[in-house]
Structure 1
Amino acid sequence: MSHQLKNLVIYTSFERDSIVCNYYNLITKEDYNERQRSYFNLVKDLVSCGKKLMEHIMFLMIESENQIISKLVDEHYRLTEFDYACIKNDLMIINWLVHYDVAQAIHDIDNQHGLLTFLLEKTSQHSQVTCYLDFFTVVRDKPIFHQQCDDFVVLMKSQGTGRFSSHIAYYMTVDNTIMPIEKYEPLKWSLIYDYDIQKERLRKNTEAFVKSKFYHHALLVGASGTGKSSSIKAIVDLYKDQRLRLIQLHKGQLGQLPALIEEIKNSSLKFIIFMDDLSFEVNEDAYKFLKSFIEGGILNETKNVAFYVTSNRMHLIKEVRSDREGEIHIQDFIQEMTSLSDRFGLFLTFESLSQKAYLEMVFKMIDEEKLDYDRSWVEVEAKKWSLRQGGMSGRVANQFVKQLHMIGEDL
């Protein structure tokens, strides 16, 4: 028992994790002072990371990545007896950690205010953690055979593995670090109204992508507030349980694409690289990174990456000022931008709403929110609101309904 963590052969990161080590020392060490110290270190570490103990342990499993795990989740790989032995070994150790009677270990510890008690609950709002906890609930106090190992590998494949598997969406910081979006709460797919044809084409393309069929990179063009970005974020949420993830980049980070693609290309997950409101000026050349990846080369072998880009401009050209001296250069630039936009196999146009479509969207939102207002009054006020906001779009309709929630008829 004294070297259980060292016996892990797949999830070797447990042995290097301070929370797991403090927990392990708390339940195994005989020296009172050592256990007391481990207790308070464990509480402090859990409070610092913002997770319960079992959530943290499950996240460690979910985010682990190494050659063994990559092999196990490969769709074409068949488990060997050695694989079964490795999985069984680790599941037995982790099962023991998950279900250990901690109350027995801390009965003589100064459990001030029951601090640890609150952090030991085996519950989580994170869907993947819940799936893993459910698995260990099923195998509790049971021997681990081939069937349990097979079930666990199915779980790994369905939920994804590696550092990008624990969250749905990620973004790149100013120092080019990829960070998770902790609360990813996009507009629901069913609540994006009107653009049914565009939505269906985007859905079919995304479904083909997650099913490893032929797919296109997508360019969504249209006026501001028409639902381009909302559609991309919502479609990722719609297919999150099929191992789809989103990574958002800004134009200035296009130079980081080679390193990013290299990091994710062997993952079992599917990634949508999302760039919002993209356009280029004549003197910018960052577009070359994007063009080179979409044209071919590395992406011919990278089947788990799709680029979904939005823009307010048809050919991604921000502004062109012509003069005689620079006319040839400008024409070359326009040609390059046209060539780039043509490489997006899925081109979706989100046109501005007519007044009729705008009002229909407002009424759909009001019905969805179960707001009870006179329809004639709503129509008049929605028109006034669109004039104040400078146009009619899905965003403006949504803002109007929010305003109704806030102040009602005192608009």
Structure 2
Amino acid sequence: MSHQLKNLVIYSSLERDSIVCNYYNLITKEDYNERQRSYFNLVKDLVQCGNTLMEHIMLLMIESENHILTKLIDEDYRLTEFDYACIKNDLMIINWLVHYNVDQAIQDIDNQHGLLTFLLDNTSQHHQVKNYLDYFMLVRDRPIFHQQCDDFVTMMKSQGTGRFSSHTAYYMTVNNTIKPIEKFEPLKWSLIYDYDIQKERLRKNTEAFVKSKFYHHALLVGASGTGKSSSIKAIVDLYKDRRLRLIQLHKGQLSQLPALIEEIKTSNLKFIIFMDDLSFEVNEDEYKFLKSFIEGGVLNETKNVAFYVTSNRMHLIKEVRSDREGEIHIQDFIHEMTSLSDRFGLYLTFESLSQKAYLEMVFKMIQEDQLDYDRDWVEIEAKKWSIRQGGMSGRVANQFVKQLHMIGEDL
């Protein structure tokens, strides 16, 4: 049989996956008992992993890592005839798996409940998976020639491959393991109003980063709710199809930076290490990890990592306890913290909004959401809302517009 799993060359890891093997046995084995066992093992494993069958197969492809894939997605690499033969071989086998009509097998084994039927959905909300599924829908009834191989490699180059390619954003758990943020749904870049100068500087820096040109680590400073974090998350989402990923850490995890950098430095992806609302006190020394990596020996050789940090403090200093610390120590600390801020080549200030800018932001959001309210009434209510919320910011404006949605629902 030409579609045997053992014939996979680039994606040979699929042959070792229990879900794929059970699916393959279900549609190829002649022994009824063996097919039945594979069927229910397949259903149980899919329920356990929480994905449909096709999502699982696509994720295995996306997260595959080997020297062949590393070579294929290199921007300067040109495919050889051997590469085309390998790609065509694997795509034909996987295309057969994806589009095999399993209805008869389900009917023979499970004609009462049809459990597997519910786990065969060929659509997905997962961005990277959707791209792969769309590709296989395009080649469903078509032969795979060089052009189809080129199209597939182009898609791989845009998304990257390996462990961190399947999601846009990740976070570090309390156990210091990296997990994907399954529902990463940041505010759209175009919907972050005002701060046009800051946004454009951040965009240009990120553009240089993804193009492997000279770039800066970025420190975004300003009042709470002004859009610092939203801008970082939105810019990552904007460049997610150019191999850009986000990993979020908090201050207590800075000691894990050496291990994290070691893990990701050889990846074909670009990583923004994001730390939100960062500040330090006199008795904290975690900043030393950040300082050494921003301008240290290791990161100088690591061209796929950028630090994007937000803070409410100009120099990341939260508190100076002069009554408990020696004056010399305090001065040394201030000097250290000032030098840490200075190591961020891109320093962006997000000032609090004026009343005019705040109201303009509110009206832009209302227009975007197509809400129909009297302009004068909205202005009065938006001012009242800002007083209750303690200030005027993008976050307060967004909260007010959400309140308008709730009012509309109650009418």
TM-score (ref. length: structure 1):
0.94
Partner residue in 2 for 1:315: 315
On the 8 A contact 2:169/2:247 being kept in 1, the answer is: yes
Partner residue in 2 for 1:149: 149
Pair 147,365 (structure 1): closer, same or farther in 2 beyond 3 Å: closer
Partner residue in 1 for 2:235: 235
| Distance (Å, rounded) in 1 between the aligned partners of 2:364 and 2:30 | 65
On the 8 A contact 1:273/1:306 being kept in 2, the answer is: yes
Q: Do structure 1's residue 206 and structure 2's residue 203 form an aligned pair?
A: no
SS at match of 1:309: strand
Give the AA of the match of 1:172: M
Give the AA of the match of 1:18: S
| Distance (Å, rounded) in 2 between the aligned partners of 1:406 and 1:19 | 44
Pair 140,324 (structure 1): closer, same or farther in 2 beyond 3 Å: closer
Give the AA of the match of 2:388: R
Identity, in percent, stands at: 90
Alpha-carbon shift at residue 134 of structure 1 (Å): 2.9
| Distance (Å, rounded) in 1 between the aligned partners of 2:372 and 2:103 | 53
Partner residue in 2 for 1:88: 88
Give the AA of the match of 1:344: F
On the 8 A contact 2:106/2:117 being kept in 1, the answer is: no
Give the AA of the match of 2:69: I
Paired residues for 1:50-129 under 5 Å = 50-129=50-129
Partner residue in 2 for 1:184: 184
On the 8 A contact 1:295/1:343 being kept in 2, the answer is: yes
Give the AA of the match of 2:393: S
**Count of paired positions:** 410
SS at match of 1:112: coil
Partner residue in 1 for 2:366: 366
Partner residue in 1 for 2:264: 264
Alpha-carbon shift at residue 293 of structure 1 (Å): 1.1
Alpha-carbon shift at residue 99 of structure 1 (Å): 2.2
On the 8 A contact 2:3/2:92 being kept in 1, the answer is: no
Paired residues for 1:276-295 under 5 Å = 276-295=276-295
Alpha-carbon shift at residue 141 of structure 1 (Å): 5.0
Pair 11,377 (structure 1): closer, same or farther in 2 beyond 3 Å: same
Alpha-carbon shift at residue 182 of structure 1 (Å): 0.8
Q: Which string of whole-angstrom CA distances, capped at 9 and with x for unpartnered residues, describes residues 42-66 of structure 1?
A: 1222222222211111111001112
Partner residue in 2 for 1:170: 170
**More divergent stretch after superposition (297-306 vs 175-184):** 297-306
On the 8 A contact 1:265/1:305 being kept in 2, the answer is: yes
On the 8 A contact 1:2/1:28 being kept in 2, the answer is: no
| Distance (Å, rounded) in 1 between the aligned partners of 2:321 and 2:36 | 71
Q: Which string of whole-angstrom CA distances, capped at 9 and with x for unpartnered residues, describes residues 314-342 of structure 1?
A: 00011012249611111111111111101
On the 8 A contact 1:160/1:269 being kept in 2, the answer is: yes
Alpha-carbon shift at residue 223 of structure 1 (Å): 0.5
Give the AA of the match of 1:287: Y
On the 8 A contact 1:8/1:89 being kept in 2, the answer is: yes
Partner residue in 1 for 2:44: 44
Partner residue in 2 for 1:390: 390
Q: Which string of whole-angstrom CA distances, capped at 9 and with x for unpartnered residues, describes residues 33-88 of structure 1?
A: 11111111112222222222111111110011122211221222333444333323
**More divergent stretch after superposition (218-227 vs 120-129):** 120-129
Gaps of 5+ in 1: none
SS at match of 1:258: helix
Partner residue in 1 for 2:217: 217
Partner residue in 2 for 1:15: 15
Pair 142,369 (structure 1): closer, same or farther in 2 beyond 3 Å: closer
| Distance (Å, rounded) in 2 between the aligned partners of 1:363 and 1:88 | 53
| Distance (Å, rounded) in 2 between the aligned partners of 1:255 and 1:371 | 47
SS at match of 1:372: coil
SS at match of 2:163: coil
Alpha-carbon shift at residue 233 of structure 1 (Å): 0.7
| Distance (Å, rounded) in 2 between the aligned partners of 1:90 and 1:375 | 60
Q: Which string of whole-angstrom CA distances, capped at 9 and with x for unpartnered residues, describes residues 285-339 of structure 1?
A: 1111111111131222211111100000000011012249611111111111111
Give the AA of the match of 2:201: R
**More divergent stretch after superposition (265-274 vs 366-375):** 366-375
Cα RMSD (Å): 2.0
| Distance (Å, rounded) in 1 between the aligned partners of 2:111 and 2:310 | 54
| Distance (Å, rounded) in 1 between the aligned partners of 2:50 and 2:367 | 38
Give the AA of the match of 2:200: E
| Distance (Å, rounded) in 1 between the aligned partners of 2:272 and 2:255 | 17
Alpha-carbon shift at residue 3 of structure 1 (Å): 8.8
Give the AA of the match of 1:205: N
Pair 365,145 (structure 1): closer, same or farther in 2 beyond 3 Å: closer
| Distance (Å, rounded) in 2 between the aligned partners of 1:69 and 1:360 | 49
Gaps of 5+ in 2: none
Paired residues for 1:23-42 under 5 Å = 23-42=23-42
| Distance (Å, rounded) in 2 between the aligned partners of 1:400 and 1:278 | 27
Q: Which string of whole-angstrom CA distances, capped at 9 and with x for unpartnered residues, describes residues 148-195 of structure 1?
A: 333322221112111111111111111011111111111111111111
Give the AA of the match of 1:12: S
Give the AA of the match of 1:373: Y
| Distance (Å, rounded) in 2 between the aligned partners of 1:228 and 1:102 | 49
Pair 324,284 (structure 1): closer, same or farther in 2 beyond 3 Å: closer
Q: Do structure 1's residue 160 and structure 2's residue 160 form an aligned pair?
A: yes
Partner residue in 2 for 1:299: 299
